[in-house]
Amino acid sequence: MNWVVFLLVSWVTLGLELGLRPSIQLGDSGMAPSFALILVAYIALTAPRVTALWAAMLIGIVLDLTSERLSSSGMSTLTIVGPTALGCMLGASAITNLRAMVYRRSPITMLMLATLLSVIVQIVVVACLAARSWWDPSLVFHARPEFAARLGSAAYTGVAALVVGPVLNFLTPLFGFIGMHQPRGGSASRW
Amino acid sequence: MPRGLFSPTRTLTVATLALVVLALAPHRTTSWLRGIKTPVEFVLSPVQHPTSIIAHFLRPPRIHGDSDDETIRALRLELDRWRAAYAETDGRILELERLLRDLQSGAALPSTLDVVQIAAPVVGAPSDLTDGLLRVRAGFDRGVVERSTVAATRGVHLVGRVVEATRGMCSVLPVTSRRAGLIDAVVLTADGLGPWACQLEPAGDGTLVGDMVAEAQGLVVGQVVSVRDRAWPIGAQGLILGRLSAIETKPNGRLRIVVTPDQPASTVGEVILRSPRMIDSGGSTP
């Protein structure tokens, strides 16, 4: 993978995500698509496994660093690094295990995999924050209502992948993935 | 040095373990991470800021009850400014009366506060929208103070309070966010009997709900509700929270009101940050 292209695309994607999310969320529900997670799903679908995991971790760390949670007092914020990064890695790992069974260029594939990855990320984030809230008094976390909103965001991310996925597929030659993978017993066109 | 010590797979494993530790470690041991956040935001801002401008252009702010007529809009804004000024002055009179009593009883008056206003764009939100925080492009380098600075739109409509300020950026917790907590306010009535006090809490749908004091009367849908809460910074006093959108009578006879802000926090594109500025007893500003 061409890491320069990856960093440039990540920069644009993360900037778009942070700038657009408040405007495209559903009402005040906090449900909004994540373009960065679609990028993680795309990389996991296309890049070698270890490369995909490194890329997922990098994007996850930036998402964690740009994320803020109110402290229990409600008068300050917490920056928690780790939950999204771990979720992205787990999600990317799941996709790299599944990708031999899917047709990469199909928009439905991106919808399904982006939704799957988002759901995995949200499960890991909720699990990490719930566990942390047991012994960290500065964090108050209500898992059930938050998980519902996060699942809504995951579904919304899947829908957004129908639009973002083809754009990323269009950029595939720039990433330098072509010919990198040969599916076992299959042709390169399947990828 | 053995081969493969720094192989990508082994390094990845170590990095993953480090992330697990960071994810679960208490905040007091990971607060240094805030230092990394500022450069990351700085790097992302060349894309984030133009994107938010385009987003606000494509989805202009929805202002409840606003007219298409430019003159009516201007008059309404002017009326809101006078209402906010009235509410602030009314609150200030009460505050001065209390101060006078304190002085007569011998309490010292070391200093007083003024408010400085800073215009700043809203450049988006954190990647986690759970708490409804807004990211505003102004930080402590421009005089923004955590917990003491408040954000308003059009100068008079309260958006929320600054809960975090770094160099060049701050986070505002909207008053309508579920985590914002209770806020004391007054309803300005036209009959001169008010203003009537109430305590409001976020309903979770972008509105505020609460009970009026028992003697409240003359309430009508559309009346303006202003902040009068000593737990909030001086810059918030008198600012408009919204208008009465529903009034119902509870079984105990008390009135329960629903207050809807003129502009939902998620559609705000620019805010006026109101920060305290200390004035010494001689009246000069440091």
Chain B contact probe: residue of A29, A35, A54, A77 with most B CBs at under 10 A:
A77
**Closest partner residue to A69 among B22, B36, B128, by Cβ?**
B128
Residue B153 lies in a domain: yes
Identify the bridge partners of residue B243 per DSSP, sorted by sequence position. B224, B260
Tell how strand B169-174 and strand B157-166 pair up.
Answer: antiparallel
In-domain check, residue A13: yes
Distance CA B61, CA B263 (A): 7
What angle, 0 to 180 degrees and rounded to 10, lies between the N-to-C axes of helices A107-135 and B8-24? 50
The answer to whether the CB atoms of A50 and B173 lie below 8 A apart is no
Residue B96 in any domain: the answer is: no
Residue A185 has pLDDT above 50, yes or no: no
**ipTM computed for the complex:** 0.81
Average pLDDT, chain A: 84
Q: Which domain holds residue B257?
A: 105-276
Contacts of B32 by beta carbon, 8 Å cutoff, 6+ apart: none
- CB contact (8 A) between residue B130 and residue A89: no
Query: Which has the closest alpha carbon to B150: B229, B73, B77, B96?
Result: B229
Q: Is residue A184 part of a domain?
A: no
In a domain, B57, yes or no: no
CA-based nearest distance B120→chain A, Å: 15
**Contact residues on chain B for A157, CB-CB shorter than 8 A:** none
In a domain, A181, yes or no: no
User: Does a structural domain hold residue A189?
Assistant: no
C-alpha–C-alpha distance, residues B221 and B247, integer Å: 7
Instruction: State the Cα–Cα distance between residues A49 and A97, nearest whole angstrom.
Output: 9
Kindly report each contact of residues A77-81 with a partner whose C-beta sits within 8 Å and lies 24 or more positions away, as own/partner: A77/B133, A77/B163, A77/B164, A77/B171, A78/A138, A78/A139, A78/B27, A79/B30, A79/B33, A79/B34, A79/B37, A80/A128, A80/A129, A80/A132, A80/A139, A80/B22, A80/B23, A80/B27, A80/B30, A81/B19, A81/B22, A81/B23, A81/B30, A81/B33
Q: Is residue A102 part of a domain?
A: yes
Q: Which residues of chain B have pLDDT under 70?
A: 1-5, 60-67, 102-113, 191-192, 278-286
Mean pLDDT of the region A117-137: 90
Q: What's the CATH number where A112 sits?
A: 1.10.1760
Q: Quick check: B55 contacting A, CB < 8 Å?
A: yes
Buried b (16+ CB within 10 A) or exposed e, B97-134: eeeeeeeeeeeeeeeeeebeebebbbbbbbbbbbbbbb
A188 pLDDT above the threshold of 50: no
B101 to chain A, closest Cα gap in Å: 31
Q: Is residue A100 part of a domain?
A: yes
- Residue B252 domain-assigned (yes or no): yes
The one-letter amino acid code at A108 reads I
- Domains: count for chain A: 1
Distance CA A15, CA A37 (A): 13
For residue B14, being part of any structural domain is answered with no
Q: Are A81 and B33 in contact (CB < 8 Å)? A: yes
Give whole-number Cα distances, A135 to A8, B22, B25, B188, in Å: 39, 14, 9, 46
Assigned domain for B82 exists:
no
Residue with the two structure tokens 């306010």: B185
Q: What is the pLDDT of residues B136-186, one digit of tens each?
A: 888 888 888 888 888 888 778 889 999 888 888 888 988 888 888 888 888
Task: Give the CATH number for residue B152.
Answer: 2.40.10.340
Residues in B 197-226 with any Cβ partner in A closer than 8 A: 204-206
Peptide bond into B195 cis (omega under 30): yes
Q: Please indicate whether residue A72 or residue B4 has the higher confidence score (pLDDT).
A: A72
Q: Which of B24, B29, B140 is the best substitution to test chain A (most A C-beta atoms within 10 A)? A: B24
Does residue A187 lie in a domain region? no
For residue B180, give the chain A residue with the closest CA.
Answer: A74
User: Within a domain: residue B91?
Assistant: no
User: Which chain B residue's Cα is nearest to A61?
Assistant: B19
**How many Cβ atoms are within 10 Å of B1's Cβ, its own excluded?**
5
Q: Label each residue of chain A as H, E or C.
A: CCHHHHHHHHHHHHHHHHHHHHHHCCCCCCCCCCHHHHHHHHHHHHCCHHHHHHHHHHHHHHHHHCCCEECCCCCCEECCCCHHHHHHHHHHHHHHHHHHHCCCCCHHHHHHHHHHHHHHHHHHHHHHHHHHHHHCCCCCCCHHHHHHHHHHHHHHHHHHHHHHHHHHHHCHHHHCCCCCCCCCCCCHHHC
Does the predicted TM-score (pTM) go above 0.80? no
pLDDT of residue B285: 43
Domain total of chain B = 1
Q: List the domain range (segments joined by +) for residue A23.
A: 3-67+78-175
Select from B16, B23, B58 the Cβ nearest to the Cβ of A83: B23
- pLDDT surpasses 70 at A182: no
SS3 assignment for B256-267: EEEEECCCCHHH
Residue B209 lies in a domain: yes
Flag whether A87 is in a domain: yes
For chain A, percent of residues with pLDDT exceeding 90: 39
- Whether chain A has a CB inside 8 Å of the CB on B23: the answer is yes
Q: Average of pLDDT values for A108-132?
A: 92
- The pLDDT score that the predictor gives to residue A119 is 95
